[in-house]
Structure 1
Amino acid sequence: MTRHPAPAPFTPLDFQLVLLRRMADHNPVRVEEARRELGVSQGEMREANRRWQAMVRSPRGRGAVARYRSVLGAPAATLRRQVGDLACEALLWPVPLWPDLRFEVLLAPGGAAVVNEWLIRAPGEPGPRLRTVEDLTAWSATVDEVGGAFPPATLREGAAPTRWRLAFEAPDAQGARRAYIGDFTWGLLQGVVAAE
C-alpha cells in the first residue's frame, strides 16, 4: 500500500494569504506588494486559498471555530460583545500583516454558531481620523469605523462571501456631502465609489 505524506499544516501565514486572495480583486497592486513582503509566490497564495476552501467545504471538516483554532491557535483575547439583543462572544487573533487589526470571530450565545468573521481594529489601538471621503483609502479602515464616522450607514451583503458593501454619506474635500458605497473584504475597506 502506497503511503502519501501528510499535508503540511495550515499556518497563520497561509491564513493571511487567504485574506489577501479575496482582496486581490479590488486591490491587485496592494496585494502583490503584501505578498512579496510575506515572501511567498503567487502559486503559494493560490494553493493556500485552495486548501482553505477545501477545509471549509469538506463534509468531514471541523466547525468554523475549531478550524480557526487549529490554524491560528488559541485566541489572543476573548471579549463579550452585545449585538442587538444577543450577548455574543468575540474571539480575537493578531494578523501580522496588519498589526493594528485583529481577526474577529463572533459567536452566537452558547458558542454554537459563528455570526461573523472579519477584521476589526485591535482593542486600544487608535482608529484612523475619518473626516471626508478622501480619508477613505484602501485598507485604511474597517466597516465599523466607516459606519461610525459617517452615520447613518447601511451594511449590505457583497457579491461574494466575506464581502460587504456599506452605503453612507460623507463630505468631500470641498465640504459637499454626497452618497457613497464602500466595498469591504473580510471587514477591511477596499475602495469607495460614488453611489449612483
Structure 2
Amino acid sequence: MGTMSSGKPAASPFTVHDFHLVLLRRMADHNPDLVEGARHTLGVSIADMREANKRWQAMVRSPRARAAASRYRSVLGTPETVLTRKVGDLECEAWLWPLPLWPDLRFEVLLAPNGSTVWNEWLVRAPESKGPDLRTLEDLTPWSCTVDEAARAFPPARPLEGTAPTRWGLMFTAPDGKGVRREVVAEFTWGLLQRLSVR
C-alpha cells in the first residue's frame, strides 16, 4: 500500500455556489421556509450551508484576509457589469454579479473612490429586469423587493440601523388593503426584503 500523506487536504475553492449559502444562512433567521426551498433548489443540506458560512467567516476574519473587493473578485469572478453610481458628490464604481438562485437580481459591491474599500454589498435589481409594482402593504412580501425599490415606492423612507452588518431597515408609511396608511418597518438581509412590522 502507498504511504498516505500526513498533510491536510487542500480546501476546495470557495465558489459562487458556496456564496449563495452564505446569503441564505443570514436569511434563514427570518424566512426558514423560503431558505429551505432554496436549499432544495441548490441541492444542499443545512450542514452544507453552515459549513459555507463558517468558511466565509474564516476568510473575512483571517489576519491574512485580502481586501473585501479582492475577496469578492476571487469568489465571484469578473463582474458581469461595472457601473458608476453617485453617492452625494462622489462618483463610485459598482460591480454587479449574477446569482443563479435570483436571476432577476444582481449582487452589487459599491467601492469607495479609492477603488479598494467596499462601502456597500447587497442584492439589487438587475439593470435589465423590471422591478415589482409596489403599491400596498400586500405587495411587500418576503424576497419581493430590494431596499432601493421599497424606498422609491414609499417615500420618504427613513433608514434604520440594522441588527447585523448584513441587515438594513426602512421605516415608511404605506396603504393597507383598505387604503389606510400605516407606519411600517421593513427589514432587509443582504438588501432583500425579509419581513414587515406594522406599527
Fold match, TM over 0.5?
Answer: yes
The separation in 2 between residues aligned to 1:95 and 1:155, in whole angstroms, is 26
Note the aligned Cα RMSD (angstroms). Answer: 0.9
What does residue 93 of structure 1 align with?
A: 97
Aligned partner of 1:12 in structure 2 is 16
What are the equivalent positions in structure 2 for 1:108-119 lying under 5 Å apart? 108-119=112-123
Q: Distance in 1 between matches of 2:158 and 2:115?
A: 27
- Return the match for 1:170 from 167, 171, 174: 174
2:107 to 99, 103, 106: 103
1:80 to 78, 81, 84: 84
Question: How far apart, in 1, do the equivalents of 2:90 and 2:184 lie?
Answer: 30
Matched, 1:37 2:35: no
Q: Secondary structure at the match of 1:29?
A: helix
Give me the whole-angstrom Cα distance separating, in 2, the residues matched to 1:64 and 1:112: 8
Q: Distance in 2 between the 1:85 and 1:24 partners? A: 37
The one-letter amino acid of 1:138's match is P
Distance (Å, rounded) in 2 between the aligned partners of 1:112 and 1:91: 12
Structure 2 unmatched ranges of 5 or more: none
Q: Distance in 2 between matches of 1:59 and 1:156?
A: 31
Corresponding letter in the other structure for 1:106: L
Partner of 1:20: helix, strand, or coil?
helix
| Aligned-partner Cα distance in 1 for 2:159–2:123 | 15
Higher-Rg member (1/2): 2
Moved more, 1-10 or 21-30: 1-10
How far apart are 1:134 and its partner, in Å? Answer: 0.6
CA–CA distance in 2 between the matches of 1:93 and 1:140? 19
Tell me the distance in 2 between the aligned counterparts of 1:181 and 1:165. 7
In structure 1, C-alpha distance between the alignment counterparts of 2:51 and 2:33, rounded to whole Å: 19
Letter in structure 2 aligned against 1:93 = W
Matching of residues 178-189 of structure 1 within 5 Å: 178-189=182-193
Q: TM-score, normalised by structure 1?
A: 0.98
In structure 1, what is the Cα distance between the partners aligned to 2:101 and 2:158? 28
2:73 to 60, 69, 76: 69
Following the alignment from structure 1 to structure 2, what is the Cα–Cα distance between the partners of residues 156 and 93?
Answer: 26
> Number of residue pairs matched?
195
State the 4+ residue runs in structure 1 displaced beyond 3 angstroms. Answer: none
* Residue of structure 1 aligned with 2:155, choices 126, 148, 151: 151
Equivalent position of 1:193 in the other structure? 197
Instruction: Give how far 1:110 is off.
Output: 2.2
Identity %: 66
